[in-house]
Structures are given as structure tokens and as C-alpha cells.
Amino acid sequence: MARRPIIAGNWKMNKTASEATELIKELKPLVKDAKCDVVVCVPAIDIPAVKKAIHGSKIRLGAQNVHFADKGAFTGEISTDMLKEYGVQYVIIGHSERRQYFGETDDTVNKRTLAAIAAGLIPIVCIGESLEERESGKTEEVLSKQISLDFRGVADFSKIVVAYEPIWAIGTGKTATDEQANEAIGYIRMRMKKLYPNKNVGKLRIQYGGSMNAKNCKGLMAQPEIDGGLIGGASLKAQDFATIVNFDK
Ligand code: PGA
């Protein structure tokens, strides 16, 4: 069975609650006929406003991080229960910005991923290589390491989403070519199948992320291995994000 495409916006640290409400208001009619899953991963403090704003639409709510403990002395963190009470269904985990600026490691990515799954949230787990790693021919080695460490203990890969985000393409305007993205995602799927046999990897959805926009989305989405997109900059403009969501039109 074909995998259902999933287009997710990663708003990062953008939009106040009132700006978020405005953006969703504009977006709603533009994505009403979407044939794919549509998700917006918003700053935690915007979640209540966005929950209200998306009511009655196909847009689903996502967060940008979650802690692995149920509760406790973890200042600044947010639990799975806190997200679920507001109808959050998806959560980005291990984004390269969190790995780079906030000390996220393969180990904490793995813990957060397992906690999200246990709570019934759908993690969108980000992996990808840096420019230096790509240029020194280490892309597959890096992906392979992340694959073996970040997904330990995942029982059913149809319940998660993976985002392949080459770090050199994030926020730089330098998109991977359709072929580069397809090849890397094909490699990820192949490694996953080898490392995690009988765990539904055939149903795992793998997105591309990194300067995906209204212009290049059709080419990327036409690639057989690419099941969707994780969209940063272009998800902050309703028209652009809607064009990506409606890539099949
Ligand atoms: P970008 O970000 O689309 O702005 O490159 C993608 C991401 O970081 O998820």
C-alpha cells in the first residue's frame, strides 16, 4: 500500500499566539482539499491558540520537542501529557538545531522518541549530515550511526515519521537536488529495513527537509522515496505552505 504523504510545518521560534491565529486563519481555506496529512509544529506557548484556530480543519497540531520523563524537576521542559491535553498529535524530535545549540544527543533523541511513542504521539525524528560530512563522503556513515542509535527499541515504524534533513540545506536556500534527497532517503529506508526487520519499516514515512519551498516541492515530492516534507521558512507564509501541501495539484 502506498504511504500517505505528510507535509509538516516547523515554525521554529516564530509567531506569537496572535500571529499564529492569523496565519492559521489564512491557511485553513487554502488546504481544505489536501490529500496528504497536514501538520503545523508550533512553539509550545502557541499551542492553545493554534488548537482553537485549526478547529474544524484538516490541519493537525504538532510540537517541536518533548521530554522523556512523565513529570518532575526538568525546568523548561514539556511532558507528553501536557501536549496531549491540548490535542497535540505530532512532535518533532532531534532537530539539528536542538542537536547543535541545546546539547541534544542520539541518546536523548532515542529517549524522547520512545516516550512520545509510548504516549501515543507521533514523533517526527530528524536525522541528516553536515556539509563537511557530505563533502568528505561520510553521508551514509553518519546516517547509519543515527539510524542505529536514535531508533533503538522502536517496535513499529508505521507509528513514527523520519525527516531526512541535510544540515547544509536547512535555512540556507540550498536545497538538495531531487536525486540527492531521493538517494539519501532510499539509503535510510534500506538501512532501516536491515537493522529493524519485521518492524513495519515498509510503512515508515520519510520526509525531506531543508529549504523545501513552493517552487521545488513538486520535483521533490515526485521522487519515489520521498513521502513528504518538513518545512521551515516556507511554512511561515500561508500561500507558500499551501502550495506545498497541494503539491499534487
Ligand atoms: P527550512 O527548515 O525549510 O527553513 O530549511 C527546515 C527545517 O529545519 O525543518
Which of 97, 129, 165, 225 is flagged as catalytic? 165
Q: Catalytic residue at 55?
A: no
Widest CA span in the chain = 49
> Pocket of ligand 1, candidates 14, 100, 170: which has the most ligand atoms within 8 Å of its Cβ, to mutate?
170
Q: What pLDDT, on a 0 to 100 scale, did the predictor assign at position 173?
A: 87
| Owner of C-alpha cell 490541519 | 59
SS (H, E, C) 45-93: HHHHHHHHHCCCCCEEEEECCCCCCCCCCCCCCCCHHHHHHCCCCEEEE
Could you say which residues of the chain have pLDDT below 70? Answer: 1
Phi first, then psi: what are they for 216, rounded to 5°? Answer: -95, 0
Which of 95, 104, 129, 225 is flagged as catalytic? 95
Its pTM stands at: 0.98
**What pLDDT digit, counting tens, does each position of 225-236 carry?**
999 999 999 999
| Owner of C-alpha cell 561520510 | 138
Contact 12, 64 (CB under 8 A): yes
Q: Which ligand 1 atom is at minimum distance from the Cα of 163?
A: 9
Q: What pLDDT, on a 0 to 100 scale, did the predictor assign at position 1?
A: 58
Contact 163, 203 (CB under 8 A): no
**What pLDDT digit, counting tens, does each position of 129-171 carry?**
999 999 999 999 999 999 999 999 999 999 999 999 999 999 9
| Owner of C-alpha cell 513514527 | 160
Q: Which ligand 1 atom is at minimum distance from the Cα of 170?
A: 5
- Ligand 1 centroid – CA 231 distance (Å): 5
Which CATH class name applies to 6-11+38-45+59-66+79-245? Answer: alpha beta
> Pocket of ligand 1, candidates 211, 241, 243: which has the most ligand atoms within 8 Å of its Cβ, to mutate?
211
